[in-house]
Amino acid sequence: MKSALFTRHASLLALSSALALTGCAFAHDNSSKAHTPIKKNKVVKPVQGDEFANFNQWRDVSDFIDQMVEKNGFDKQQLQATLSKTHYVDSAIQLMKPAPASKPKNWVAYRSRFVEPVRIDAGVAFWNVHADALARAEAQYGVPAEIIVAILGVETVYGRNTGNFRVMDAVTTLAFAYPDTPNRTARSAYFRGELENTLLFARESGIDPFSLLGSYAGAIGWPQFMPGSIRKFAVDFDGDGRIDLRNSPVDAIGSIARFLVLHGWRSGEPVVFPARLDTTGSEWQRFIGQGLEAKFSLQELKAAGVTPLIEPPAGMPFGLVDLQNGEEPTEYWLGAANFFAITQYNRSFFYAMSVHDLSRAVRMARNY
């Protein structure tokens, strides 16, 4: 991650520019308008919109509304009315900024936040309560119960931390006022897509879009699905006729399983194999940073100095997983297709390995 180029001060300038109706939240304009007094050092409440901005007066929003009318048949005045009730959330912008690169990445420290007693115990309890739904998901999609349980543990501690931002506020703010990072263009486009998906999902479901609550990034419910993922991958797994990832853990269970199987989960295959790396050569280095895919044969990895400590079944493809450990030696693993399916949920080796480790810890605790 690059360091934040967008300081708190610049953020306030952008906001004041927006309030000054320049039509663009990123008018990098140091004119006097940019110094219009606004609320400074405001304590941000992590609920709903905490700043008002009339999004309808932003040119990009106006263009977006026109596209929604043309592409998806929305009523322009209704959509303008919706956007007029949507609030700018500065806290979403602040939270989206990359953390300053201070300490080196540390797998052991990261793991300890997720593979810990509260999540393990809550995972066992959740599994016991929802054993039938988990077994049904495993039978239907081939995803083991413990993986589904672990994802719910890492994401929200079984529905405890699902977020209280109005999704409309979060995704609209990030769509049109994304912080000034090197990937801002792509991220803005992504959140415009998510705003479109939020509006489409609400229309398809016959619900008020403002009834959707989620994280500062707009991720919804027990499994923290973005609106676009809900529309593509979620499933009504409790059969009540609607998808509700905030109130139905059973819908969450089915949706996680369906997400994983549609992202390459292979029934019955292991997730990772421990490996040892002979670093005397340099050949192994070409396997580092090769994306989120199992695409190398065991033979070519072995030839480069990667030795599995448990011999995998023949024919499985792998990627080399490096887990950096601060000042301590890096851990290496062979990641199978199922490891990389989990990284599609959250694009991080640390994340996928935490899910794997928590899944084993919960299963062991439950069987004890």
Q: Which residues bind Ca ion (CB under 5 A)?
A: 236, 238, 240, 248, 251
Return d(Cα 334, Cα 196) in angstroms, integer.
38
Per the CB < 8 A criterion, the answer to whether 133 and 254 are in contact is yes
Residue 234: CB minimum distance to Ca ion, A:
9
Q: Residue 325 is encoded by which pair of tokens? A: 């450990």
Nearer to Ca ion by Cβ, of 236 and 283: the residue is 236
Per the CB < 8 A criterion, the answer to whether 190 and 218 are in contact is no
**Tokens 């499994």 sit on residue:** 223
Beta bridge partners of 272: 335
Per the CB < 8 A criterion, the answer to whether 234 and 225 are in contact is yes
Nearer to Ca ion by Cβ, of 82 and 255: the residue is 255
Which burial class, exposed, middle or buried, applies to 41 when counting CB atoms under 10 A from its CB (0-12, 13-18, 19+)? exposed
Per the CB < 8 A criterion, the answer to whether 87 and 166 are in contact is yes
Residue 263: CB minimum distance to Ca ion, A:
22
Per the CB < 8 A criterion, the answer to whether 361 and 120 are in contact is yes
Nearer to Ca ion by Cβ, of 89 and 212: the residue is 212
Angle, CA 310 vertex, CA 308 and CA 312 arms, to 5°? 80
- Dihedral, CA atoms, 186, 190, 191, 196, nearest 10 degrees? 140
Sign of CA dihedral 179, 184, 187, 192: positive
Nearer to Ca ion by Cβ, of 63 and 240: the residue is 240
Nearer to Ca ion by Cβ, of 195 and 220: the residue is 220
Q: Out of 51, 138, 146, 155, which one is annotated catalytic?
A: 155
Residue 208: CB minimum distance to Ca ion, A:
18
Residue 196: CB minimum distance to Ca ion, A:
23
Residue 327 CB neighbours (<10 A) = 7
Nearer to Ca ion by Cβ, of 146 and 251: the residue is 251
Residue 223: CB minimum distance to Ca ion, A:
13
DSSP 274: E
Residue 9 CB neighbours (<10 A) = 9
Residue with smallest beta-carbon separation from Ca ion: 236
Cα 43 versus chain centre, distance: 26
Residue 248: CB minimum distance to Ca ion, A:
5
Nearer to Ca ion by Cβ, of 90 and 238: the residue is 238
Is 155 designated active site? yes
Residue 61: CB minimum distance to Ca ion, A:
32
Per the CB < 8 A criterion, the answer to whether 339 and 98 are in contact is no
Catalytic residues: 155
